[in-house]
A and B are shown apart, each in its own frame.
Chain A
Amino acid sequence: MPDIDLDRELRALGRQLDVPPGPDPAGMVALVRRRLVARRATPSRQWLRYAAAMAVIAIAVLVAGSPQVRAAIVELLRFGGVVVEQGNPTPNPTPDPPQSGKPPETADGVAAAQSRVAFPVRVPAELGPPDEVSVIDGRVVSFSYRAAGIRLDQFDGTLDLTFAKTVPNPADVEWTQVDGATALWLRTPHELVYIDRAGQRHTESARLAANTLIWQRGQVTIRLEGAVTLERAVVIAQSIR
């Protein structure tokens, strides 16, 4: 039998196959949308693994707001890979979870951390050397200041690392400046949503569930979390040299 016949027959068979009626597209749009904005708050135990798989630093801030406001914010946020997405507010952000069970690679100090990453690691003069330094997959350097209750993360912004933050109320987001650069100030407990290289979102409770200042310096995005005021956070941020 010539191929051409089998070709035609198979196509004809395809058109006669019994495929159940498809879902209503509008219904599918609604379902998918609901799932995408729901941001299931299942903390991932494999945070480090996902962190290791992360690529550009983008900080997505989930803001419930009108499309106009959102568009304006998106424009403002075009730095450091920050993205704003519209979504429903998270009703009950998990406050202040204890930091346990996450053993990042602990570096012996700032110099050790510097030797393991490709970007300049900087120390805020206001705080001095951190109590603890950890490096995650050569992309994130995290300083911990235990007494001050501050955590400072420096991300290699040239990579495709994605961090997303869920902010319950857009009024909790404030614009400020660090060294003349736009910075984002979040003053409510929030959840971090990590997007790994495969594009999967993983929700992680905020590490300190405290105020957070996010800004960019050169190719590095920096996040300061802690029980500090905006003024103090900016002072600390500007002392980073």
Chain B
Amino acid sequence: MARTLAGDLDAYGELVARYTAVAHRAAALSGAGADAEDVVQEAFVKAFRKLRTFRAGEPFKPWLLRIVVNEASNLRRSLHRRGALALRTARTDPVDGPENDVLGEERRDALLTAVRALPDRDRLVLTCRYFLELSEAETAQVLGWPAGSVKSRTARALARLRNRLGAHTTEEVSGA
């Protein structure tokens, strides 16, 4: 990290290699969709140029992901694309494993529909906390929110989600 901060491109390359996968997942899940790869590339270029704003000693991952998520949001806005559309489950190749025990297919679809219908900020905080499995502190850094509001926004988003799921059990589930 110290070498990277001194402008060493070889050292930065090591960071790029290490964080490409997580950055790509964050980009894809925050609305970049098929452009996730471009978003990641752009984010790494911007991150290098912004290194001066990186405080030595702070964790690199959330700092980087903030740039990735912002870049994905900018792209989404410029394309008037709804971020929620980026969230899809892998229907053709379902993951085998304990996840399937936790979540049946029907329940999974209902949950996904409910998440997609959430307001942007709710969906964003849930994406960070559950889909990217970031801590509250990391989420706060990625979204640029105070730690307290990550907690309260998560609670509110979960409450909304529960309401929607409750409604869906008594009504026709509509795809929109």
| 5 contacting pairs across A/B (C-beta < 8 A) | A25-B17, A25-B20, A28-B20, A29-B13, A36-B45
Residues of B within 8 A of A (CB): 6-7, 9-10, 12-13, 16-18, 20-21, 24-25, 28-29, 34, 36-37, 40-41, 44-46, 48-53, 87-91, 94-95, 98-99, 102-103, 107-108, 111-112, 115, 126, 129-133, 158, 161-162, 165
**Known contacts A13-B112, A28-B17; is-contact A55 B52 (Cβ 8 Å):** yes
Residues of A within 8 A of B45 (CB): 32, 35-36
Work out how many contacts link A and B, with CB atoms closer than 8 A.
Answer: 142
Instruction: Report yes or no: B111 in contact with A18, Cβ–Cβ below 8 A.
Output: no
- Of A98-106, A179-187, A196-204, the segment with at least 4 beta carbons within 8 Å of chain B is A196-204
Residues of B within 8 A of A198 (CB): 50, 53
Cα separation A37 to B53 with both chains bound (whole Å): 20
**Known contacts A25-B16, A199-B51; is-contact A16 B130 (Cβ 8 Å):** no
**Known contacts A6-B162, A33-B13; is-contact A201 B52 (Cβ 8 Å):** no
Count chain A residues whose beta carbon lies closer than 8 angstroms to a beta carbon of B. Answer: 46
Residue on A nearest B10 in the bound complex, by CB: A67
A14, A83, A85, A200 pick with most chain B CB within 10 angstroms: A14
Instruction: Report yes or no: A13 in contact with B20, Cβ–Cβ below 8 A.
Output: no
Residue on A nearest B87 in the bound complex, by CB: A17
Residues of A within 8 A of B20 (CB): 22-23, 25, 28-29
Instruction: Report yes or no: B28 in contact with A20, Cβ–Cβ below 8 A.
Output: yes
Q: Give the Cβ gap from A70 to chain B, nearest Cβ, in Å.
A: 9
A7 interface neighbour in B24, B36, B130, B132, Cβ under 8 Å: B130
Cα separation A28 to B112 with both chains bound (whole Å): 31
Residues of A within 8 A of B95 (CB): 15-16
Q: Give the Cβ gap from B87 to chain A, nearest Cβ, in Å.
A: 6
Cα separation A3 to B161 with both chains bound (whole Å): 11
Instruction: Report yes or no: A9 in contact with B16, Cβ–Cβ below 8 A.
Output: no
Q: Please provide the 7 A-B residue pairs with the shortest distance between their CB atoms, ordered closest to farther.
A: A199-B50, A22-B24, A14-B131, A10-B130, A18-B90, A12-B99, A12-B102
A230 in the interface (beta carbon within 8 A): no
A60 in the interface (beta carbon within 8 A): yes
**Known contacts A13-B89, A83-B6; is-contact A22 B131 (Cβ 8 Å):** no
Instruction: Report yes or no: A85 in contact with B7, Cβ–Cβ below 8 A.
Output: yes
Instruction: Report yes or no: A13 in contact with B115, Cβ–Cβ below 8 A.
Output: yes
Residues of A within 8 A of B53 (CB): 197-199
**Known contacts A25-B16, A86-B9; is-contact A18 B89 (Cβ 8 Å):** yes
Instruction: Report yes or no: A16 in contact with B29, Cβ–Cβ below 8 A.
Output: no
Residue on B nearest A35 in the bound complex, by CB: B45
**Known contacts A25-B20, A35-B45; is-contact A8 B89 (Cβ 8 Å):** no
Q: Which residues of A10-59 are within 8 A (CB) of B?
A: 10-20, 22-23, 25-26, 28-29, 31-33, 35-37, 55
